[in-house]
Each structure stands twice: as C-alpha cells, then as structure tokens.
Amino acid sequence: MALLAKKPKGTADVVPSKSYMWHTVEKLTAETAQQYGFKEIRIPTFEDTGLFVRSVGETTDVVQKEMYTVSAAGDSQFTLRPEGTAGVMRAMLENGVMNEGFPQKVYYILSCFRHENVQAGRLREFHQFGCEMVGSASPRADAEVISLAKSVLDRVGLQNIVLNLNSIGCPECREKYRQALREYFEPHRDELCRTCQERLDKNPMRLLDCKSAEDQAIAKDAPVILDYLCDDCKKHFDGVKEYLGIMGIDYVVNPKIVRGLDYYTRTVFEFITTEIGAQGTVCAGGRYDGLIEELGGAKTPALGFGMGLERLLLVMQKQNCDFMQDKTCDLYFATMGEASVNKALCLTRAARDEGFFVEYDLVERGLKPQMKYADKIGAKFVIVLGDNEIESGKAKLKNMATGEQTDISIGDDFVPQFSQAMVNSMFSGLESEFGGL
RNA sequence: GUGGGUAUAGCGUAGCUGGCCUAACGCGUCAGAUUGUGGCUCUGAAGACCGAGAGUUCAAAUCUCUCUACUCACCCCA
C-alpha cells in the first residue's frame, strides 16, 4: 500500500490497544513523585537555542550534532528540547519559583528530541519522566532523589537493575583529575584507538569507557576520580553512600559513570539493565550545583534525574511486569430498529451521567454481530432493546460472564436498578472466586 | 558517518536450488450456519501489483545490480 506519508525516522506511534502501557508508567511515576512531595511542572516543547548550548554544554554531542533547531520567519532560533532539566530550571527561575523557599521539588513527563541514529532503546523523539530538587546541598538530597528513582523502578516492578554511583567532584577536583588522566595516558598515546586519541585532548574522562579491548587494558590502572576528590566533595560522597546504606538501597560505585552533559557536579548515577540491548541506562541523573548560576540565577545547589520511558517500557515488557488494563464497557445496548436506537440513546445518556461506561451500536449491524461486538469489547452487561421491550418497559439484563439474565425496568428507575445489578454481580463474582465462603 | 541483518495482505509467517504462485497459512476484519442474543466450532468473503527500479530468461516473489526503508551495532545517550 502506498501511503502518503510514513512516520519520521526515530518516532513511534502508540496504537489504541497499547496505550494502557503508557497510562501505567505515567500514573505510577507521577504518583511516586507526589509521595515524595514533588509537584508537576510543565514547560514548552521548544526553547531558545542558547539555553541548551549554555546548560548542556557547547562541546557535547547533544549540542554539536543532535539538536533540532528551527527558526520561523523573523524569530530567533529555537530548539526542540533535547532533555528536560535546562527548560525546567529556566521555567523555575523565570517564574520566581526559586524565591518560594527551599527545597523546591518538581517532576515532569515530557518528550525530548535528539537527532541520533536509531537503535534499540534509542529514538529521536523519546519520553522522559524527570525529577529535580533545587536548594539543598546536603547529601541527604542526593539520597532522597536516588531513593525516588529507585521507588519508581520498584513500583513498576523492575528487577535486576543496578544502581551505578559515582562522584565526578566539583570543577576544581575534576580539573586536577583530568590533568592526572592526561599524564597517565600521554605515554600510551600511540597505542590508543583513533577516537581515544582525540578524547585525550578534548575529554580524557571519556577514555575510561572506551569499548576497545586494548584501550581498556591501558585504562585498567588509570587514576580513579574518587582519589582526586577534594575534602568537601569526598565528604559529600561519603554522606550519600551512608544515607543510601541506611535506606537499604544497593549500589555499586562505578568510577566510569561520567555523564555526557556538562552541567553535572559531584554525584552522578545511572540505573542500568542488561536486558534491552546496548542502551541499558533506564535512568540517569546527578547533581548540578553550577547550572542555575550559569543560567543567570543565584548560586543554588540542585540535582535530579531523567528516566527514559521507552526504555522503561522495554524492560517492563521483557520482565512481564503488570500493567493497568483499560477499563472495559459496563453496559452495551443491542438495538433493533429506530425506536430501539432512540430508547438506547436516552438510557445511555442517563447511565453515563451516573458514571457508567456504556456503548451501543454505531455501525448499524444486526443483533448477532452486536452481541459479538459486545463480547469483544468485554462488556459486562448487555441489554437487548427490541419492540417487545419498548412496549412493555421491561428488558433482560444479561450478565456476559455468567450468561444469566435478570429483569430490569427501562423506565425512570433504570439507572438505580442497573447500579444494583452491577454491585450484585461483583458480589457473586467474589463468592465464586473464594469458593463460596 | 561506518558496518551486519531484514524487506511477501492490518499483524505474524510459508514459499526463495526460477515455471504447478492468476502467491499460501495463522491471527484479525466482515458475513452466514432456519425466525430476536456473544464466547466454541464450521462455511464463505474482502484484503498483497511479493519494498522500489533496472537487468538476465521463453518464464522471477524466487537469480544479478542499484536504490530506499526498517532493524541491530559502533559513536553517543534516557
């Protein structure tokens, strides 16, 4: 079939039969954040390009080659957000949220855009659940945010996901560390792979997670960031680990966790799974004590994380996690002829006003196909409305699970009777489920 | 940008040492199986110019080439 257009590369449709999966993660993530006292924040899909250049970092891949930047006639340049934190911090500053007292705790669910090559777990438009906490420099805040991420992962039912923890220090200790790395690798420069030779000059910390076996062998005895932390950073990191220990949150310290965005300081972490291919980081975050100042605000400590919802869903499906199913139809009216449809319209409105989920025939099918349809959509009850029923004002309410039929009035007292029938059927369902206790 | 894999009805597949393919099967969809009642079963129908283009051949879904799309991986990241 020759369709006019196909979806752009790296985008995904959520078909009606699958949307319940998204409802599940949206609900569970938001509820968990709220339990921790986080409130939702919503921000625009695009921002001034400069915001991302400044916050994410001019030299990062995200900024250098992955941004969707657009400019409409006469306007300045805008960029579709490649991540959530920058826009959220901008919004909090712009709306004076920072002046309302600390800590400020926000969460969001939004789409992000990066022009990358597509592969398993990596899309060009993807969705993130994120949380940010502003105004606390305490290691308690780090532990709290990590705990929240962990709670979300537990809540959706994930298993075998490992918290990798590291500290990349403050700008001062990081610079010292970079220097040490350069000194360590420089003698091996010629043995390194081509990209790592470049990394040595630009971003030596990236050398550590090169996949090449030779490079890994060289990097094996490289200096470790944790040995270069200043006293304050070290104390902070120890505090984070201690609090995590008290909360019973397992982690592994992984000095190779570096994070690709420039704004991170001190604590960085990733929750990593091995079950969904090469892109196993489901959740990643850290502290960014310098970002708010960088954006023109007062110097304010902050931290947060982003969780890739597509990746989360991949793992959930792989691990057969439970999803909230869509509600199913309470009552279906099978109609026969115009008078019947008219009656169904009235009864349907009445029942819907009372909160019931009601459907009737919209494609003018016969009775039998309507019954099949009612069955297919999982209708709990069916009422057939024919001439007899309309004349007598009484109809049969059919319980589709048991097949039993009970008389019901289709007059003014229709809704209360139906409500009662629903309750009764739930009760009888329980009885049979527990073997008639 | 660089490699590997795959491209057949809405979905999942078979066919791929060329002719019996005017393309098959399962699921799904629609309609029937004696008059107004679903789930099981049975019957039937609709639905694909076999990713696109070119070539080889008497003959191609099946062979060759080119292109495109999708996919996995590198890179990078959620």
For the stretch A344-373, pLDDT in tens is 999 999 999 999 999 999 999 999 999 999
Nearest protein residue, CA measured to C1' of B69: A9
pLDDT bucket at A2, cuts 50 / 70 / 90 = low
Residue A436: pLDDT band by 50, 70, 90 thresholds?
very low
pLDDT in tens, A189-242: 887 777 777 777 777 887 777 766 777 778 878 888 999 999 999 999 999 999
Does the CB of A252 sit below 7 A from strand B?
no
Q: What are phi and psi of A324, to 5 degrees?
A: -75, 125
Q: Which nucleotides of chain B are near protein (any atom < 7 Å from a CB)?
A: 1-2, 9-10, 29-33, 36-39, 48-49, 69-78
Q: Is the pLDDT of residue A278 over 80?
A: yes
Q: Residue A299 CB closer than 7 angstroms to strand B?
A: no
What ipTM score was computed for the predicted complex, to two decimals? Answer: 0.90
Residue A144, pLDDT score: 98
Domain boundaries A16-170+230-318, corresponding CATH code: 3.30.930.10
| pLDDT (tens digit per residue) in A121-138 | 999 999 999 999 999 999
- pLDDT, residue A194, reads 72
Answer whether any strand B atom is within 7 A of the Cβ of A337.
no
> Gap from A4 CA to B21 C1', in Å?
29
CA-closest candidate to residue A67, choices A310, A293, A77, A92 = A77
Query: Of the CATH numbers 3.40.50.720, 3.30.1300.30, 3.40.50.800, 3.40.50.1820, which one belongs to the domain with range A331-428?
Result: 3.40.50.800
From the list A209, A212, A178, the residue with the least C-alpha distance to A193 is A212
Residue A103 beta carbon within 7 A of nucleic strand B: no
CB-strand contact A113/B, under 7 Å? no
Confidence band, pLDDT 50/70/90 cuts, at residue A261: confident
Per-residue pLDDT for A338 more than 80? Answer: yes
* CA distance linking residue A71 with residue A87, whole number of Å: 18
pLDDT at residue A383, as a whole number: 96
* Averaged confidence pLDDT in chain A: 91
User: What percentage of chain A exceeds 90 in pLDDT?
Assistant: 76
Q: pLDDT per residue over A85-134, tens digit each?
A: 999 999 999 999 999 999 999 999 999 999 999 999 999 999 999 999 99
Q: Which residues contact A413 (CB under 8 A, 6 or more apart)?
A: none
Query: Can you give the residue ranges of every domain in chain A?
Result: 16-170+230-318, 172-225, 331-428
Looking at chain A, how many residues does it have? Answer: 437
pLDDT at A430: 55
Confidence label for A282 from pLDDT (cuts 50, 70 and 90): very high
Whether residue A411 contacts residue A350, with contact meaning beta carbons closer than 8 Å, is answered with no
Asked whether strand B has any atom less than 7 Å from the CB of A376, the reply is yes
Segment A403-434, tens digit of pLDDT: 999 999 999 999 999 999 999 888 775 555 44
Is the Cβ–Cβ distance between A199 and A207 less than 8 Å? yes
**Confidence at residue A431, expressed as pLDDT on a 0 to 100 scale:** 52
pTM score over 0.95: no
Q: Is the CB of A311 under 7 A from strand B?
A: yes
Given a cut of 90, is residue A316 above it in pLDDT?
Answer: yes
Signed CA dihedral, A56, A59, A63, A66: sign only: negative
Which of chain A's residues 405-424 bind strand B, using a 7 Å CB cutoff? none
| Residue A204 preceded by cis peptide, ω within 30 | no
